[in-house]
A and B are shown apart, each in its own frame.
Chain A
């Protein structure tokens, strides 16, 4: 079975450019999570969706960050304009409904803002 698919795997861009990260969750999963991982701050939850609806975006660092889930099989995380401090690995994860369901992670997008 296909797992969570993220694209691109690597992104290098210059400061000020718009960056769009993409995620395809596991089919049938009701929840989708976006995380950011850095050496300094570890793994941070940015936002999560339930049935395509954003439930908690309190982890989104600034208005420069936005996330959408137009349908059950696709989500985007956008940074506009990007800054060097946004450099990190961004993970998408999905899970079935229910408090005891584990999250399944994609391989991440390594983002470098020059």
Chain B
């Protein structure tokens, strides 16, 4: 079955430290993948997306993600975290011609000052 897994429920990092949020996928074909961020009381906002080509994709707010086929991963990274990055992050994937996405369970990021 097609799935997206986020192994970490909660992560805490210090402001200014680097960040990596993990996402693993399970699809028969190469999926298209997204990262979304959800701030409290708001909807999900798209950070970045991967379809094909360059495996390192840049997104908004200084985030990037790298598609690694050999590891079935699409991890989100940021070199230096800001306190305003505290939020919940969702990885999502789809495949084929369907517009339906499968979302991971989310990773809550806490940033300490």
Contact = CB atoms under 8 A, between A and B. Distances in A.
A43 B90 contact: yes
Interface string B24-68: 000000001010100001111110010100000000000000000
B23 to A, nearest CB: 14
A99 B94 contact: yes
Contact of B99 (A4, A99, A108): A99
A106 B43 contact: yes
> Would you call the interface of chain A mostly helix, strand, loop, or mixed?
strand
A31 B101 CA distance: 12
A48 B101 CA distance: 11
A95 B98 CA distance: 12
Interface in A85-110: 91, 93, 95, 97-108
A40 to B, nearest CB: 11
Interface of B: 32, 34, 36, 41-46, 49, 51, 90, 94-101, 103, 105-106
